[in-house]
């Protein structure tokens, strides 16, 4: 599995998301309320807008446009209007930097 360094973990405050590019794909890096870092495709599967502009709530990321919530661990939406999951990428923290896999872990293609 190939991982890319996307920057210091200190750049993503707890409860926020940041858009980065991983292998040519826009990905939202999320520092969730459980203090873990997650990475999901930065595009709502319903409205094709940036999820990184939405709100973090627990281990979910809410789309700012229509309110769809996506589980950061699985990519699954918790209810309409989105019905399709978003890609989820494995994350590692190494020496204070965030590394994101170039391959989704949930089988969803970016």
pLDDT for 80 equals: 87
Query: What is the CB neighbour count within 10 angstroms for residue 53?
Result: 15
Model pLDDT for residues 30-39, shown as the tens digit of each residue = 999 999 999 9
> Given this model, what pLDDT does residue 79 score?
82
What is the C-alpha separation between 37 and 24, in angstroms, rounded?
Answer: 20
* Beta-carbon contacts of residue 48 (< 8 Å; ≥ 6 apart): none
Q: Note the pLDDT tens digit of each residue in 4-43.
A: 999 999 999 999 999 999 999 999 999 999 999 999 999 9
Which DSSP state fits 35?
S
CATH homologous superfamily, domain 3-101: Rieske [2Fe-2S] iron-sulphur domain (2.102.10.10)
58: helix, strand or coil = coil
CA distances from 93 to 19, 54, 61 (A): 17, 23, 20
Tokens at residue 72, please?
């950061």
In this prediction the pTM is: 0.95
């Amino acid at each position: 599995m190939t991982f890319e360094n996307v920057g210091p973990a200190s750049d993503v405050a707890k409860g926020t998301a940041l858009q980065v590019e991983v292998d040519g794909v826009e990905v939202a890096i999320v520092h969730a309320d459980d203090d873990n870092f997650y990475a999901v495709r930065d595009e709502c599967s319903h409205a094709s807008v940036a999820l990184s502009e939405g709100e973090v709530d627990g281990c979910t990321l809410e789309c700012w446009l229509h309110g769809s919530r996506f589980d950061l661990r699985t990519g699954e939406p918790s209810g309409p209007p989105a019905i399709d999951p978003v890609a989820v990428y494995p994350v590692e923290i190494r020496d204070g930097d965030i590394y994101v896999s170039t391959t989704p872990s949930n089988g969803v293609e970016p």
